[in-house]
Each structure stands twice: as structure tokens, then as C-alpha cells.
Amino acid sequence: MPYPRYAAQNEPSASVSYDTAQDAPSGYSEPAALAYQLPAPDQHTSTEGPQAANAGWDAYDRVAGPGETSYEAKNALRLQLSNVPTLLKILDNQPFDSYHVHWFKEITTGRRSFRGRDVGCPPCDELGHRPRKVGVFNVAAYDDTTGTWENRVWETGRTVSDQLRALANDRKRGPLTNPVLYFAVSKTGAGTETKYHVETVKARDLEEDWGIQSPSQEDASRLLQGVQNEAWERHNSVAELREAVARVLAESENHSSAA
């Protein structure tokens, strides 16, 4: 029987509030300004070979990107959020990778999520499946347990990514690597009811309001050496995506037969 085309999947919403992150006031001595040591935005981007990521906002618009970072290493780097705010410093003014993710609830065993393709994507073309858009950022996250700044990878959905792009292009508050600009990020809810909360924090308020020192020069060097520049999620081949489509159709047929 023909498979019903997908309706748009709900993406967790995000509530975002910003302070006024303006340039440092006259006479203000800025501690260890990470942004002044950052390379040009495109320096982290690999444009050759099969491992090239999709850096930049243009790539976020068209999304495509094969990463081979191990599962364990990725889990260690992946930013984990809770209802307790995590303090971040964004290390690039743009995502280092962007892609579409197809997640199939119909697949009950094995892999259920797949990185889509810009063109010729079987789940999109054959199922009308609406993927989730993801922008991926290099960030430094403050670890309350160790009292140190650590490299993390922040995976953001469409809403938060678009909010970050607006801030990146804001003449008064941006770029994302503005030396006085930090972020306090948290989440509430679960599943499709998840909400992400992103607030800006001024560098001058770190110690007074958070009891935290900004990254030192040594920290900055270590963090910049730890940025990711390969595709964060492996590219799935057309054959893999067609196999996923076949599994979804089979599960749908089995469900209909059982009913």
C-alpha cells in the first residue's frame, strides 16, 4: 500500500532572552579575550577530502557535511544540558557543521537516525519525511566540578541556530566571538516539549554574578587547539538511506497488516 507522507515533525522550541552585550565600556580592562586570538572564521573549515564539514551560515542554509569521530569521543565532547544553566564561550562566529537528521520512530531495532542529503535524499523524496535541521558549534563550557573551561560541541536545532545567527550579525551585540560575550544555556521539559533557554552574560559579570574567572591565555590556547573541524555526523550513503526507507515501509506494512 502507498506509504502516507509525513507531516512536519515538531522540533523542541527555544525561549531565548538577551542582555545588551555592548562593547566594553571606556577604561574597562578585559580579561583574556578569547575572540582576539581566534583565527579567521573559515580557518577551521576543511574543504578537501571526504571529511570536510559544512562550516558557515551559507552551509547552514543548504545543509549537507562524513565524520569519523568515535562514539565515545563524541559523547564526551557533546554538550549536555539540564535545567541548571551552563556557562559557554562560543569559539567560532558560525557553525562548523550543519546537516539534516532523519529520525524514524518506525524503526524499532538498530540505527534510527540518519544524516540526510542536500539533493537526492530518499527519505525526503520517497517518504516526504521532514528532517530536523542541526547547526553545530565549537564552544568552551565551564565545568563546575573541576572549575575549568573545557571544549564541547553544541548541537542546536533550527530555532536556537537562527537566534545565534541573528546575534552573530548584530552590529551592537555580535559577533558570537565578541570578547565580552558569554552565554548561559539550559533546557527544560523533554521530548517535543523541550525548551532551550539562552541568555547572554557580559564578561565583566562573570566573577561578580557567577563566581567564575574568564579563560586565561593558557586556557584560550588549549581551547582553540581542541576545536572540531570534521563533519560531526557521518554522511549516510544513498544505499543506507534507501535501506532505511525500505525498513520504514516494511514496518508500516506490518503494522497495517496486524491491524
Concatenated DSSP letters for 180-228? TEEEEEEEES-GGG-EEEEEEEEGGGIIIII--PPPPHHHHHHHHHT--
Mean pLDDT to the nearest integer, 16-24: 37
pLDDT tens readout for residues 112-121: 889 999 889 9
Predicted local distance difference test score (pLDDT) of residue 200: 94
pLDDT band at 67 (very low <50, low <70, confident <90, very high): very low
pLDDT band at 15 (very low <50, low <70, confident <90, very high): very low
Predicted local distance difference test score (pLDDT) of residue 12: 41
- Nearest CA among 165, 207, 202 for reference residue 184: 202
Predicted local distance difference test score (pLDDT) of residue 90: 97
pLDDT tens readout for residues 86-103: 999 999 999 999 999 998
In the chain, pLDDT over 90 holds for what percent of residues? 53
Predicted local distance difference test score (pLDDT) of residue 106: 87
CB 95 within 8 A of CB 60: yes
Q: Which of 64-68, 194-198, 211-215, 236-240 has the lowest mean pLDDT?
A: 64-68
Pairing relationship of beta strands 13-17 and 195-202 according to DSSP bridges:
parallel
The amino acid at residue 125 is: D
Mean pLDDT to the nearest integer, 232-248: 90
Q: In this predicted model, which residue has the larger pLDDT, 68 or 194?
A: 194
Phi first, then psi, for residue 178 (nearest 5°) are -50, 125
Largest CA distance in the chain: 74
Please state, as a whole number, how many other Cβ atoms lie within 10 Å of the Cβ of residue 229.
18
- Say whether pLDDT at 31 is over 50: no
Mean pLDDT to the nearest integer, 43-66: 55
Please state, as a whole number, how many other Cβ atoms lie within 10 Å of the Cβ of residue 237.
12
Place of cell 557535511: 65
pTM attached to this predicted model:
0.70
